[in-house]
Amino acid sequence: MIAYIFPGQGAQFSGMGKELYEQHPVAKELFDKANEILGFMITDLMFAGTDEELKQTKVTQPAIFLHSVIMSACTPDFAPDMVAGHSLGEFSALVAAKALSFEEGLRLVSARAYTMQKACEKEPSTMAVVMGLDDRQIEEVCASIEGVVVPANYNCPGQLVISGSIVAVETACEALKAAGAKRAMRLPVGGAFHSPLMESARYELGIAIEQAHIQTPICPIYQNVDAKPHTDSQIIKQNLLTQLTSPVQWTQTVQNMSTDGAVSFVELGPGNVLQGLVRKILYQ
């Protein structure tokens, strides 16, 4: 069985999608449509933007979504047995699995990006990657720190991302290094994604998700919040919203997909970060 997986924020790079645009008529059509829907030339930013321009959440999220979804549209005989996406990638997975139309998917991702960026502006916050400790040790340290700092991305055994206020995350990093972490360092992101600090984004995004027409996907989608396969549209909607303030259970997702029969994991989107995580989860 083939599992298609879709990356999240952080995979962006200048030039992403340019080759697709130039070589595939379908890609050109979808990119041009995206410029109209968004009301700005995202293709200019994707194909030739600076790192700083691409780091803006309102640009990053639709850019990665577009690259991923258009890759799936240009993949010959695309027929997934199951799909999953890391954070933002969950929206790409839903479009690839035909649960969401391209247009509605892009509008939802754009709404998600704007609401998350607004939430980030309310309080200085950040994320940090922690390497070399068990998940349980990291959870215990986070729980002991004053302020908001929580596990955000269970990426693979020995790698977990934490999220919260800047002071609490920095304090946690020092405590984690003292506990034996090989690395505990802040990431260049604009906010505390997948933490309680995203709560203010839930209302606006909730309206957009509730109004979206989500159909039964052509294959199960393994969602971030519980790492389980879903096909029920109402449950999918609720999980998309809950994802904002809940951790991404990527380790558990890949393990469950493998247990359910996935023997090949194909990453669609910029970079190959998820392929590396799959190897560490299943084969190391």
Q: Within this chain, do residues 271 and 140 fall inside the same structural domain, yes or no?
A: no
| DSSP codes joined into one string, 9-78 | TT---TTTTHHHHHH-HHHHHHHHHHHHHHTS-HHHHHHH--HHHHHSHHHHHHHHHHHHHHHHHTSTT-
Looking at the fold, whether 10 and 33 belong to one and the same domain comes out as yes
Rg (CA), the chain: 18
* Same domain assignment for residues 135 and 154: yes
Residue 191 lies in a domain: no
The pLDDT, as a whole number, for residue 120 is: 79
Instruction: Give the list of residues 6+ apart from residue 193 with CB closer than 8 angstroms, or none.
Output: 9, 87, 116, 127, 152, 163, 244
- Segment (H or E) for 162: strand 159-165
Distance in angstroms (rounded) separating the CA atoms of residues 30 and 73: 9
Catalytic residue set: 87, 194
Residue that finishes a domain, picked among 144, 160, 186: 186
DSSP H/E element including 83: strand 82-85
The residue written with tokens 């995202």 in the block is 42
Same domain, 39 and 142: no
Give SS3 for 212: coil
| Domain with 77 in it | 2-121+196-283
| Domain CATH number, residue 109 | 3.40.366.10
Query: Order of strands, edge to edge, in the sheet holding 82-85?
Result: 229-230, 221-222, 82-85, 2-6, 264-267
**Six-digit token pair at 103?**
């247009």
**Distance between first and last Cα of the chain:** 21
Does 174 fall in a domain?
yes
Helix (H/G/I), strand (E/B), else coil: 117: helix
Report the pLDDT value the prediction gives residue 54, as an integer from 0 to 100. 83
Q: Please indicate, yes or no, whether residues 235 and 145 belong to a single structural domain of this protein.
A: no
Backbone angles phi, psi at 108, to 5 degrees: -65, -45
- Look at residue 91 and tell me if it is in a domain: yes
Task: Provide the residue-wise pLDDT of the chain in tens; the chain has 284 residues.
Answer: 999 999 998 778 889 899 999 999 999 999 999 999 999 999 999 999 888 888 787 888 999 999 999 999 999 889 999 999 999 999 999 999 999 999 999 999 999 988 888 887 777 899 999 999 999 999 999 999 999 999 999 999 999 999 999 999 999 999 999 999 999 999 877 788 999 999 888 888 888 998 999 999 999 999 999 999 999 999 999 999 999 999 999 999 999 999 999 999 999 999 889 999 999 999 87
Query: Do residues 214 and 157 share a domain?
Result: no
For residues 62 and 116, state if they share a domain.
yes
H-helix or E-strand spanning residue 126: strand 125-131
Cβ contact 97:83 at 8 Å: yes
Whole-angstrom Cα distance, residue 40 to residue 45? Answer: 10
Q: Answer left, alpha or beta for residue 261, where phi above 0 means left and psi between -120 and 50 means alpha.
A: left
Question: Residue 128 is part of a domain; what is its CATH number?
Answer: 3.30.70.250
pLDDT at 121: 79
* Tally of domains in the chain: 2
Sheet holding 149-156, edge to edge: 149-156, 159-165, 125-131, 183-186
Residue 33 located in a structural domain: yes
